[in-house]
Amino acid sequence: MSDRQHCRPVNIDELREAVAWAVGEERTLEVRGNGTKAGYGRPVECSAVLETTGLAGIDMYEPDELVMSAGAGTPLAEIEAALAEKGQMLAFEPADYGAILGGEAGRQTIGGVFAANLCGPRRIRSGAARDHLLGLQTVTGHGQIIKTGGRVVKNVTGYDLCKLLTGSMGTLAVMSHVTFKVLPAPETCGTLLLTGAARATLLGALCRAMGSAFDVSSAALLPAAAAARSTVPDVSLAGGEVAALRIEGPAPSVAYRISRLEDLLHDGEIECARLDPDGSALLWREIRDAALLDRQAPLWRISTAPTAAADIAGEREDVLFDWSGGLIWATGDERGDLRARVDATGGHATLVRASPELRSAMAPFHPQAGPLRALSRRVKNSFDPGRVLNSGRMYEGI
Amino acid sequence: MSGIAMPEPDAEAIAKRDWLIDALRGIVPGEGVISTPEELRAYECDALSTYRQVPMAVVLPETVEQVSKVLALCDRERIKVVPRGAGTSLSGGALPVTDGIVLGMGKFNRILDIDWANRCVVTQPGVTNLGITRAVEHEGFYYAPDPSSQIACTIGGNIGENSGGVHCLKYGLTTNNVLGLEMVLTNGDVIRLGGRHLDAEGYDLLGLMTGSEGLLGVVTEVTVRILQKPETLRAVLMGFPSVEAGGDCVATIIARGIIPGGLEMMDHPAINAAEDFCNAGYPRDAQALLICELDGPQAEVDHLIDTVTDIARDLGATYLKVSQSEEERLGFWAGRKNAFPAVGRISPDYICMDGTIPRSELAHVLRRMQQMSAKYGLRVANVFHAGDGNLHPLILFDANKPGELDNAEAFGADILKLCVEVGGVLTGEHGVGIEKRDLMPEMFTEDDLNQQARVKCAFDPTQILNPGKMFPKLHRCAELGRMHVHKGQMPFPELERF
């Protein structure tokens, strides 16, 4: 690493120069913020490093307008602290991939959050990073500064390149500044725990809750082994599979909705219990960061239709269901059996955490075929024809 | 036709017309190809009806295979294709070209699956926006984005324009509510993006397609999320003696952490036009009227209604009324929802603009708009999705007076430039189309626009899909693809390039 050229631009013009240099010299750039996700994606060797941490700081924050703008290298922790001071938040609740990938927690940059399209348990109600990015300044693989979007929430002027670049893992353009939507933090939150029934019954109960009018913001199911790892005693001592529903909002509304959900779901089999706001916050953070699973084993993240969850996971114990079953975190499986099942039912499986050898042998991002693969390549070409930016990180040749 | 020029028609394409119609009939048999002048006239414009052009033919395919073959044929023969849903675009997105065909998706009008357990609907693109809600409402569900044309506009068109509506502050736009697409590229490739699950495995092409105005591909199937209807809906009507006070009220509601289901504002001329039209009970003397709708569980709505009325009282509201029944709530909305026809009655013609601004700039922008109104000698009425900063100034004019349409368009362009100047954008939900095409350089640099054009080339290298829309200048894809060549060689020479 030490003999590689290392660029750390402090403004967008220096960033543009760094990319233009790489294009001219036929270098390949490893684009990174704090490097918390270095172990995420295909292992690739780049001839130089382009680090965005010099592009740091909150440029604009208008709480009344629900909007913030910051350099891509700004620490997420700094942003969350500024928001908390005004009672606001990033509603998409980005998971801590530093912690998930076995590194230090709390070190992600806001650029990394958008480049990887992170989200959390509230995804099913409030969306992912993609749904909150309003505007971007970037430098493309042509070495050109490009602006897209703006600072207002309603904007259909030109193609929505914010969506395209969110989750593109730095393979199309390097983000310099991001402008995003922020939201008021809920006044309070509560969690309804469901126990005493088999997995299929509990997953069915989550789906029923999601189909109710009670505005559930998160719905997870923890197999017994995962529940036992929780630091929340009500969860770890439950002694079986535990389903959890999060309800957020003004206090009278939360109390009302929790009791209505109890009425709806309580039957001879399912038992209900409630978690207080502190316990809730702790539990949903553990779920967000897949912290209730083995933290060393390979980790899969599967997005699927909620009703397919039971079939995909089977009787596995080393799993965690979020999004009412629409998201499955699973450990182990070095052969990719889970991905084969996802292929049969619809959705995608990402190998989030694995050794470099395994990530070389098995595509970390769900393989694409035929015309879609060709289209993705043409999109890459349109931004980065010289394959300068994070090339090969998502897919071979992209 | 007024000021906005369309690309020079391609004489070679026009010369092929008879041959082309035969070839299209070979793909879509029977009534599926329209070619007589009388029948073609029905397709000459969309809802931006000051612009009209008759296409060479209209094709109404019924299967994905037919769409694929039609596109592949047109790609090979360099025939332009304008996709069309219900033709309700307000920006000329479905305006035909005289040297091309219209690909009407109206026969793709079936809902394919309602998946209650996964809370989504799989539908063909020609189903109307309201048709989706109608299909699921008996179980208490609805489809959230509700553009005002929802009775007629199709879900395919909603994908093209990333349509919004009055509820998008809380529930998002089309792009936040669509899960999957099937689409056909101009080379005939059929591609599926997403499905019944969330987020993409690779590039978010679903997000890119949404709002691409029919320039990238033709949508043949859509999967959308449906939501359970809120338990309670209540609305508050608030009148203020100044636009500033109304604007402060909007800012304060949001600053207190309340995200209403709908938050609309009307100015004095719009209030009175609506009142003349349908007697909604609006206060005629108010300079600004707010409609704030809160939805959710009864306990939450009652709690928030009290907070909102307290805020309005503190800020000097001169009129304050909370809906006590569903009938009354709908009555509050009647004036707002009829604002366009109401303005249509007080003026022979009007054009509707669609800029978005930061909310804090509202009073400033309305004041500047009044000055422009005096300068151009044309009246303007404003309805405003206040919660998300989306303005709809209605410019009143008389098309029978020589020069007045041009004058109105110039006024409209000045308003949109002002929106950009204060940190906003040219279009919040109606799309660029032809209407705002030539204003794109107000917001974007040449590099910005060239990158967007390169994305277009990745999908449609022959540029046959919806030409003349969105981009002020057309470049050949080869010209845009040109890149720096170092020491006489390309990096990765084995890779395909357009």
For B208, the closest of A63, A127, A160 (CB atoms) is A160
Residue of B166, B199, B498 to mutate, testing the A interface (most A Cβ within 10 Å of its Cβ): B199
Are B277 and B232 in contact by the 8 Å Cβ rule? The answer is no
Instruction: Write out the CATH class of domain B347-439.
Output: alpha beta
For A371, the closest of B189, B358, B359 (CB atoms) is B189
- What is the rounded end-to-end Cα distance, in angstroms, of chain A? 23
Are B452 and A161 a contacting pair at CB < 8 A? yes
Are B498 and A157 a contacting pair at CB < 8 A? no
Provide the 3-class DSSP secondary structure of residue B268: helix
Residue of A159, A378, A383 to mutate, testing the B interface (most B Cβ within 10 Å of its Cβ): A159
Are B457 and B498 in contact by the 8 Å Cβ rule? The answer is yes
Per-window interface: B 27-86 vs A, CB < 8 A = none
Are B276 and B349 in contact by the 8 Å Cβ rule? The answer is no
Task: Give residue-wise pLDDT tens across range B93-143.
Answer: 999 999 999 999 999 999 999 999 999 999 999 999 999 999 999 999 999
The minimum CA-CA distance between B402 and chain A, rounded to whole Å, is 31
Contact B190/A at CB under 8 A: yes
Provide the 3-class DSSP secondary structure of residue B299: helix
Q: What is the dihedral of CA A277, A281, A287, A291, to 10 degrees?
A: -130
pLDDT for res B70: 98
Are A379 and B455 a contacting pair at CB < 8 A? yes
Binned at pLDDT 50, 70 and 90, residue B341 comes out as confident
Binned at pLDDT 50, 70 and 90, residue A3 comes out as low
Task: Give residue-wise pLDDT tens across range B147-196.
Answer: 988 999 999 999 999 999 888 889 999 999 999 999 999 999 999 999 99
Task: Give residue-wise pLDDT tens across range A109-162.
Answer: 999 999 999 999 999 999 999 999 999 999 999 999 999 999 999 999 999 999
The minimum CA-CA distance between B37 and chain A, rounded to whole Å, is 34
Are B199 and A187 a contacting pair at CB < 8 A? no
Residue of A25, A118, A133, A157 to mutate, testing the B interface (most B Cβ within 10 Å of its Cβ): A157
Are B119 and A211 a contacting pair at CB < 8 A? yes
The minimum CA-CA distance between B30 and chain A, rounded to whole Å, is 31
Is the per-residue pLDDT at B487 higher than 70? Answer: no
- The structural domains of chain A, ordered by start, are 1-185 (3.30.465.10), 188-288 (3.30.70.2190)
Per-window interface: B 369-408 vs A, CB < 8 A = 385, 388-390
Are A159 and B211 a contacting pair at CB < 8 A? yes
Are A252 and B300 a contacting pair at CB < 8 A? yes
What's the alpha-carbon Rg for chain B, to the nearest Å? Answer: 24
Are B119 and A166 a contacting pair at CB < 8 A? no
Task: Enumerate the residues of chain A whose CB falls inside 8 A of the CB of residue B385.
Answer: 154
Average model confidence (pLDDT) across chain B: 93
Task: Give residue-wise pLDDT tens across range B6-33.
Answer: 888 999 999 999 999 999 999 999 899 9
Average model confidence (pLDDT) across chain A: 96
Q: At what angle do helices B298-314 and B243-255 cross, to 10 degrees?
A: 140
Nearest-by-CA chain A residue for B423: A151
pLDDT for res B200: 85
Binned at pLDDT 50, 70 and 90, residue B482 comes out as low
Domain boundaries, chain B: 11-104, 111-228, 232-340, 347-439, 446-498
Residue of B158, B162, B178, B197 to mutate, testing the A interface (most A Cβ within 10 Å of its Cβ): B197
Are B208 and A164 a contacting pair at CB < 8 A? yes
Average the pLDDT over B465-483 and give the result: 85
The answer for residues whose C-beta is within 8 angstroms of residue B273's C-beta and 6 or more apart is B339, B342, B343, B345, B346, B381
Task: Enumerate the residues of chain A whose CB falls inside 8 A of the CB of residue B360.
Answer: 62, 64-65
Is the per-residue pLDDT at B490 higher than 70? Answer: no
Nearest-by-CA chain A residue for B139: A211
ipTM of the complex: 0.97
Sign of CA dihedral B435, B441, B447, B448: negative
Question: Two tokens at B243?
Answer: 């636009």
Cα–Cα distance, A262 to A253 (Å, whole number)? 14
Q: Which amino acid is at A340?
A: A
Binned at pLDDT 50, 70 and 90, residue B481 comes out as low
Is the per-residue pLDDT at B486 higher than 60? Answer: no
Are B198 and A67 a contacting pair at CB < 8 A? no
pLDDT for res B484: 46
CATH for B232-340? 3.30.70.3450
Greatest Cα-to-Cα distance within chain B, rounded to the nearest angstrom: 76
Average the pLDDT over A52-77 and give the result: 96
pLDDT for res A4: 82
Are A154 and B431 a contacting pair at CB < 8 A? no
Count other C-beta atoms under 10 Å from residue A315's C-beta. 8
pLDDT for res B4: 81
CATH 3.30.43.10 fits B11-104, yes or no: yes
Is the per-residue pLDDT at B3 higher than 90? Answer: no
What global pTM score does this model have? 0.96
- Strands A299-303, A188-195: pairing kind: unpaired
Are B175 and A160 a contacting pair at CB < 8 A? yes
Domains B11-104 and B111-228 share a fold: no
Is the per-residue pLDDT at B496 higher than 50? Answer: no
Burial class (CB in 10 A: 0-12, 13-18, 19+), A35: middle
Distances (CA, A) of B43 to A94, B101, B190, B482: 47, 10, 26, 38
Name the CATH code of domain B111-228 (choices 3.40.1710.10, 3.50.50.60, 1.10.3720.10, 3.30.465.10): 3.30.465.10
Are A160 and B162 a contacting pair at CB < 8 A? yes
Are B495 and A158 a contacting pair at CB < 8 A? no
pLDDT more than 90, % of chain B: 84
